[in-house]
Amino acid sequence: MKHVFIKGMDSEAPVIVLFHGTGGTERDLLPLAREISPGSPVLSLRGNVLENGMPRFFRRLAEGVFDEEDLIFRTKEVNDFLDQAAVEHGLDRHNFVAIGYSNGANIAGSLLFHYPDALRGAILHHPMVPRRGIGLPDLTDVPVFIGAGMNDPICSPEETEELSTLLKEAGASVTIHWERAGHQLTRTEVDAAADWYHETFE
Ligand code: MLT
């Protein structure tokens, strides 16, 4: 997959894995990684799907309606890529923490829903429920930060709560941070995610 890799100064720090939103690129979230964990190695991926020229991590049939078959295929593709990248760059595969926004939060959420050891933790900015009606892997001790907007037209507060409940039922420890805002990523949400990261991983 097209990506950026930054070696990082601190090989013990979590590897930050970045997933952009629809229409973004692997460069979009690099400042977030630098800000939240400056010493970390960084793997920033570009989604392999194009929707009218806009990169995404999986296909959708309409806004908010995911192509489930493609989601499953792309989730495996990303997980396999992370496995290979760990070997190639000598990274600890059990020390990967995702940061994703919107479509990128949804593929990171899908990794959690499908693979028990894909992520050590995750910061999900404005995620949705990636799939319904499946059993989740054991996510005991996997910390998840969810940033959500009370007026998010793409992801309703009810869907945020549903995602939180599903993750908690699988054993994850979930923190929801609410913004009085819509789908955009705000400064205060990024600050809250950074505080949560420092409390959780340092
Ligand atoms: C998605 O398709 O993943 C969500 O609707 C978020 C987005 O607009 O990308």
Ligand 1, atom 7, lies closest to the CA of: 103
The per-residue pLDDT for range 79-92, each reduced to its tens digit, is 999 999 999 999 99
* Domain count across the chain: 1
Report the sign of the C-alpha dihedral through residues 33, 155, 82, 52, in that order. negative
- The pair phi, psi for residue 198, each rounded to 5°, is -65, -40
Is the distance from the beta carbon of residue 44 to the nearest atom of ligand 1 less than 6 Å?
A: no
pLDDT, residue 161, reads 98
Check whether 113 has a pLDDT greater than 90. yes
pLDDT, residue 28, reads 98
Whole-number mean pLDDT of the chain?
98
At residue 11 the predicted structure's pLDDT band, cuts being 50, 70 and 90, is: confident
Q: What is the pTM of this model?
A: 0.98
DSSP state for residue 138 in the 8-state scheme: P
Q: How far is the CA of 101 from the centre of ligand 1 (A)?
A: 9
Distance CA 46, CA 141 (A): 28
Is the distance from the beta carbon of residue 110 to the nearest atom of ligand 1 less than 6 Å?
A: no
User: What residue numbers bound the domain in which 182 lies?
Assistant: 3-201
At residue 68 the predicted structure's pLDDT band, cuts being 50, 70 and 90, is: very high
Probe residue for ligand 1, chosen from 103, 155, 163, 185 as the CB with the greatest number of ligand atoms within 8 Å: 103
Are the CB atoms for 40 and 14 separated by under 8 Å? Answer: yes
Q: CATH code at 169?
A: 3.40.50.1820
